[in-house]
């Protein structure tokens, strides 16, 4: 019974890690983006950060839903 949920939980945690890395990429672009993207880099960095926060939220909801359904 636990073997079925192991694969699902693995992908949920991968999605969480991807969200965190996207948020950190957005923060890096916010700090050092002027040399990479030019003068107007804050809008792109904000969008990257918002996408990362969305991924973290989706992964958190999936992890919470799977833990409640297994109880």
Question: HSE of 4 in the Cβ direction (CA atoms, 13 Å)?
Answer: 5
- Quick one: pLDDT at residue 10? 82
CB 17 within 8 A of CB 63: no
- Quick one: pLDDT at residue 56? 94
- Quick one: pLDDT at residue 19? 95
- Quick one: pLDDT at residue 12? 86
- Phi and psi at residue 39, in whole multiples of 5°? -70, -35
Along the chain (71 residues), what's the average pLDDT of each consecutive run of 10 residues?
60 91 95 87 94 93 73 60
pTM for the whole thing? 0.78
What is the distance of C-alpha 28 from the center of its chain? 15
């Amino acid at each position: 019974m636990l073997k079925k949920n192991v694969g699902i939980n693995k992908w949920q945690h991968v999605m969480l890690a991807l969200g965190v890395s996207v948020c950190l990429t957005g923060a890096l672009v916010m700090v050092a983006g002027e040399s990479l993207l030019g003068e107007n880099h804050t809008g792109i960095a904000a969008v990257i950060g918002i996408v990362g926060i969305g991924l973290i939220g989706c992964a958190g909801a999936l992890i919470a839903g799977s833990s409640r359904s297994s109880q």
